[in-house]
Amino acid sequence: MNVAFVAHDHKKEEMIAFTIAYQDLFKPHTLFATGTTGRLIMENTDLDIMTFKSGPLGGDQQIGAMVSQNELDLLVFFRDPLVAQPHEPDITALLRLCDVYGIPVATNMATAELLVHSLERGDFHWRDVIHQNRPSNVAHFKRSLSSTAKQEATGVVDQSLPRADSV
C-alpha cells in the first residue's frame, strides 16, 4: 500500500509520536510525505519516506497528483483546525480529491488509529483490485507526473481522468 503523511506545524510532534508507535506496521508499505513532515519522521523512526515539497510550496498538490493518478491508498493528514493556513485552497483540493477517488483519510489521531488498525487487519484489500489495473511502483508515478507536466505545457491533456469541472 502507498501511504502519505502530512502534518501542519502544530501537529508535527503528534505525527512523530504516531509514526513511532506504528513504525513496524508502516515498514512494509511505500511511504510518502510532504517535506518537513517526512524529514522529521525519518529523523525519529527507521522509516524510509519519499518526500515531496513542503505543503505550502506545493507538497499538498504533489500528493494530490498521486491521488488523481490513483497511486495513493491512505492519507494521514494531521490538520490544525485552529490556525488559518496560507495554502488552504490546496488542502481543500487534496481532501476533495480523496473524496472523488475514494481514498481513506485521517485528519486526527483517533481516525488515524482506526485506519491503521484496519490496514493491519487487511481491510484495505479492496485497493488490491485497483492495483491490478495499474503499475504499482514509484517509477511509474514519477513518469506520470512528468507526463502530466508535459501535457500541461503543450495544452494536451489526458481526458481519461475525471476533470475537476465534471465531478
- Alpha carbon 158 to its chain centroid, in Å, reads 22
Beta bridge partners of 106: 76
For residue 158, the SS3 value is coil
60 is catalytic: yes
Catalytic member of 24, 60, 90, 165: 60
Q: Which 3 state secondary structure label does DSSP give 16?
A: helix
58: left (phi over 0), alpha (psi -120 to 50) or beta: left
Residue 77: name the closest of 152, 8, 131, 136 by CA.
8
Cell output for 97: 480529491
Contact 72, 106 (CB under 8 A): no
Catalytic residues: 60
